[in-house]
Amino acid sequence: MLSDQEFLRYQRQIMLPELGESGQRLLLGAKVLIVGCGGLGSTVALQLAGAGIGKLVLCDDDSVELSNLHRQLSYRESDLGQAKAQALAGQIKRLNPSISTRSVSRRMSLDLLNIEVSLADLVIDCSDNFPTRQDINKACTSNQIPLVSGAAIGWDGQVAYFDGQQQSACYHCLYPFNESNQATKCSDAGVMGPSVNMTGSLQSMLAIRAITEPETLNTGELIVFNGREMSHQKFAIEKDDSCAVCSEGNNNE
């Protein structure tokens, strides 16, 4: 049963017939791992904390810089120089003190990811480079943990949901490489702040649904939107039967 305080705090989303009290209890009991606490991760973390996700693990090895503040709205000038994961945990505590948070202010190796992923109910990839994204995908596939992936650059953003099961497509099926010749970081190509926050919001929506009603989600579906044209498209990601990560008989190494 929800406490009176929990009911009052979350009553507007509890009123949704797709969620209700049972869905809220699922959120309160969930543990979510967020890798990356920049524009995407900071948006996702605060929205999930507001929604009542019980436990959040925040991973990032960067500190807050002045150039972050046009899009990473969780941070303030007073946070400059602080580790992002710790600064974000502080913001979460001010928003919703009942949320349990843990900060990991270090780069996530594959070994460390495997440990953290194995302890989570859901992983949200908010990282900004292909090698980390591929390692997150390997850890999620190996541990059969669902993954919500997101990326934003320029005016554009994309999100995808993978259920972590071997019979389904994974992130490596979509992007079977660790590096790209194109500029894939906002520090190289620029980025519009609202596009980042919109992408993070879509990741948050997918995360809430993945916890409360996973059967309604299409695993391996890529959603791409263009913020300048205000358009979006959906694509089904086909499973690669020779994928080095999720194909039958691989060892994820």
Any idea which residues carry the catalytic annotation? Answer: 186
Phi, psi of 154 (to 5 degrees): 60, -125
115 Cβ neighbours under 8 A, 6+ residues apart: none
Q: Residue 54 carries which DSSP code?
A: S
- Cα-only R_g, the chain: 17
Q: Residue 191 carries which DSSP code?
A: B
88 Cβ neighbours under 8 A, 6+ residues apart: 37, 41, 42, 45, 46, 58, 60, 74, 75, 103
Q: How far apart are CA 29 and CA 162, in angstroms?
A: 21
CB 182 within 8 A of CB 154: no
Question: Tokens at residue 198, please?
Answer: 């919109």
